Amino acid sequence: MKKLYSALMTAFNEDDTINESGIREMVRYNIDHNHIDGLYVGGSTGESFMLSTEERKQAYKIAYDETAGKADLIAQVGSVNLTEAKELAKYAVELGYKTISAVPPFYYHFTFDQIKNYYDQILEGLDVQLIIYSIPALSGVTLSLTEFAKLFENPKIIGVKYTNNDFLLLQRLRSAFPDKKIYFGTDEMLISALPLGIDGAIGSTFNLNAARAKAEIAAYEAGDMKKVFELQDVSNKFILALIDNDIYPSLKLVFEEMGVHAGYSKAPMSKPTAQMRAGAKKIYEQYIK
List contacts with ligand NGF (CB under 6 A): 7, 40, 43-46, 135, 138, 163, 185-188, 203-205, 239, 247
Least distance between ligand NGF and beta carbon 219 (Å): 19
Instruction: Give the residue with the Cβ less far from ligand NGF, 65 or 188.
Output: 188
Residue closest to ligand NGF when measured from CB atoms: 43
Partners of 72 in the beta sheet?
38
Phi, psi for residue 231 in degrees, rounded to 5: -70, -40
Least distance between ligand NGF and beta carbon 198 (Å): 13
Instruction: Give the residue with the Cβ less far from ligand NGF, 136 or 224.
Output: 136
Instruction: Give the residue with the Cβ less far from ligand NGF, 46 or 105.
Output: 46
Least distance between ligand NGF and beta carbon 199 (Å): 15
Q: Which residues have a catalytic role annotated?
A: 133, 161
The per-residue DSSP string of 168-220 comes to HHHHHHHHH-TTSEEEE--GGGHHHHGGGT-SEEEESTHHHHHHHHHHHHHHH
| d(C-alpha 21, C-alpha 215), whole Å | 30
| Residue 132 CA from chain centroid, whole number | 12
Residue 5, classed as helix, strand or coil, is strand
Least distance between ligand NGF and beta carbon 271 (Å): 19
Residue 161, classed as helix, strand or coil, is strand
Instruction: Give the residue with the Cβ less far from ligand NGF, 171 or 186.
Output: 186
49 CB-contact burial (10 Å; exposed 0-12 / middle 13-18 / buried 19+): middle
